[in-house]
Amino acid sequence: PISSFPASASQEWLDLRCRGVRNANAYILVYDICCVESFEYVKMIRQQIVENREGSSSEVPILVVGNKRDLQRQRFMPRRAVSVLVKKTWKCGYVECSAKFNWHVVLLFKELLGIAVARAMRQNHTSIRLQGALQRNRCTVM
């Protein structure tokens, strides 16, 4: 486990944002519920995404994921407070999971897809064609 959040992470994001990250169709931002620094990092990345998206693409689906749910007694902020901030203020989806125990990991991808479909429907797209999407586009994991 990482004992402290890497100081160079902010600079790494600034370097990567110009490499096609602005064109992503969706984002999953994961933080450690026990580490306030990781949440601050996610906050900074979300702000960068919002600032660097242009036009209608600024409505890109963002799902914030609190990881290490199995260590919830060590969390830095109550779940409800984080959920309200992310959902109401940031207008993003929010899910908590435990990668260690594979708890809600599949759910977070279903949630992201649900957010993407809902936003597409709001933009008057009457049909969403997902068939072959994985063959045409690539998924970038950072």
pLDDT digits (tens, 9 = 90+) for 69-100: 999 899 999 999 999 999 999 999 999 999 99
Question: Hey, what amino acid is at 24?
Answer: A
We report the CATH number of the domain holding residue 29 as 3.40.50.300
Residue 142 lies in a domain: no
Residue 32 lies in a domain: yes
Q: In which order are the strands placed within the sheet that holds 27-32?
A: 27-32, 62-67, 93-96
The dihedral sign for the CA sequence 36, 33, 86, 6: positive
pLDDT at 16: 59
Residue 33 lies in a domain: yes
pLDDT at 58: 58
- Taking residue 104's Cβ as centre, other Cβ atoms within 10 Å add up to 19
Q: Which range marks the domain in which residue 21 is found?
A: 9-136
> Does the pLDDT value for residue 136 go beyond 60?
no
The dihedral sign for the CA sequence 142, 25, 128, 110: positive
- How many domains in the chain? 1
